[in-house]
Amino acid sequence: MQLLAAPTVVIEGRLTRPGWILFDEFIREIGAGVPPARVQEAATGIDTLADGVLSPGLVDIQINGAFGVDFAAATDDEWIRVAQQMPSTGVTSFVPTLITAPVEELTGALEAYRVLRPRLEAVPGAARTLGLHVEGPFLAERRRGAHRAELLCDPQPQLIEAMIGAATGALTYLTLAPERAGALEAIQLLTGAGVRVSLGHTDADHRTVRAAADAGATLVTHLYNAQRPMRHRDPGTVGAALTDPRLTSGLIVDRHHVAPIAVQIAFRSAPGRIALVSDAVAAMGMPAGSYELAGEHLEVQPGLPPRRADGTIAGSALRMDEAIANAVLHCEVDLETAVNAATLVPARAVGRGDLGILKPGAPADLVWLGEDLITRTTWVGGQPVRTCDHAPASTAGAQP
């Protein structure tokens, strides 16, 4: 067993200074202060981190692609390559996202992922995939963002049932606009089959959002972006999301999608219900250039988010460790809250309370974040799988 001590450890969601952890594949013991003699004697190896913070492995529950790979068009080998490279960003678990496409294409992709999933799970050192997120095609045209208007449609029962049947447990959550015809019934069908529902790309007012939560919706996709804003006489999707305790909202903190003060408002209004997400596309981890998202051409300029030819922002090139750094260093979010928003909160939001937390019995998925909050070393299942000795190509220094 390995004993790792650090000046700061996030133990069960709380910053502990200093702290230690004894682990093999799983966390065996964890505590504050100096490791007791009996723990040191039980260890076969002892290391002490000089600085930074030892965190649970990061959990990204919305990511469209990375390292030059778009999940919508990925081969099996490309899926595996991305899963192997994700720990370089501190991510040890993620939910790949497929955006709007014809339903028959989405069902085919769900079936293909379901077949591939055991192979992904067997790859040593790869980040864990936690099922898929399908974003669309049941979205509002007015708030469609980068989604293709001609592919949007109502969530008819036969379409929902086709997706549920194709997934066979591999569909973790689906984003829809709750104001579309049949949406509340679709939410009930999905949640009845064990699929979580997120509200996004929506022009819903606060009453419709509350009705969707009554029907079983528990998530909101990229808060503020592509949804009805909050106004003093029209609280909109944003107002409902920030005040309804049943809803956990994803938030893209790349300093482009959401202004720092809006980030502060979200965290202060909905403590414990904001999950940092990357919403990254294939450009994440890559130099500026041309990429694709579900067949759509994207251009990425240095320090800027990806954009379609018409100028629409389409996802990000954000890393999850950068999201933490942006939240802490530029948005006045405290370190404990920011780390939890990238670990504990998203893991719980998708039903994985065993991940995103350092406690006895949990998988030993860990990340050492340096003083700059960028990944230095990552462990998956107790094995060090990626050490980074250079800063990433980042949007963290960009101006909002």
400 vs 111, 262, 396, CA distance in Å? 40, 12, 10
CA dist., res. 126 & res. 270, Å (int): 32
Cα three-residue angle 26-30-35, rounded to 5 degrees: 125
Would residue 279 show up in a list of annotated catalytic residues for this protein?
yes
Asked if residues 320 and 356 have their Cβ atoms less than 8 Å apart, the reply is no
Longest dimension (CA), the chain: 66
Nearest residue to 144 (alpha-carbon basis) of 156, 135, 157:
135
Active-site pick, 60, 203, 244, 279: 279
Can you tell me the distance from the alpha carbon of 187 to that of 217, in angstroms, rounded to the nearest whole number? 7
Angle at 210 between CA 236 and CA 314, to 5 degrees: 50
Residue ranges of alpha helices (H) inside the chain are 37-42, 76-85, 103-121, 157-167, 183-192, 206-215, 236-243, 260-269, 320-330, 335-341, 344-349
Alpha carbon 67 to chain centroid, angstroms: 16
The answer to whether residues 54 and 6 touch, using CB atoms and an 8 Å cutoff, is yes
Identity of residue 354: D
Catalytic residue set: 279
